[in-house]
Amino acid sequence: MTNRNIGYFSIVLLLLLPSSITVAAPIEAWYQKVWCNGMGGQLEYRLDSGRRIDCLTNSHAIEIEFARKWPEAIGQALDYSMLTGKHAGIVLILNKGVDFTHWERMRKVIDHYQLPIQVWRLGP
């Protein structure tokens, strides 16, 4: 899927979200299902150790996580990449404007250490 198609997919996904997300926002599993199905990936791929990768595509092992948990997402994505031989990926869920700060911090860490992680974001 090209970056342009990913952009279109993200826009469509955002249109499906309620106009004002409250405390009753969809749970992480909902985001995982929608994003992974849209990318043609395998949802909740189980490793031999019993752990599960949120979304496994032909090219990426992807961790899907809420913005405030970005440090955990980096570690998990790298671990899953190592275990599967696929590229590491993170989809960061941004539910509110302040979550963009988490997105920026994550990007700075990835860029600073030149981590081999592709990132996508869902939300504003």
Is the model's pLDDT at 72 over the cut of 80? yes
pLDDT at residue 18, rounded to an integer: 47
- What are 1-21's pLDDT values in tens digits? 555 555 555 544 444 444 444
Q: Could you give the number of structural domains in the chain?
A: 1
Q: Chain-centre distance of CA 78, in angstroms? A: 13
Which H helix or E strand runs over 55?
strand 52-56
**Backbone phi, psi, residue 43, to 5°:** -75, 140
pTM for the structure as a whole = 0.79
Tell me, what amino acid is at 36? C
Angle at 29 between CA 6 and CA 72, to 5 degrees: 80
Q: Which domain holds residue 28?
A: 3-122
- What are 14-54's pLDDT values in tens digits? 444 444 444 445 788 999 999 999 999 999 999 999 999 99
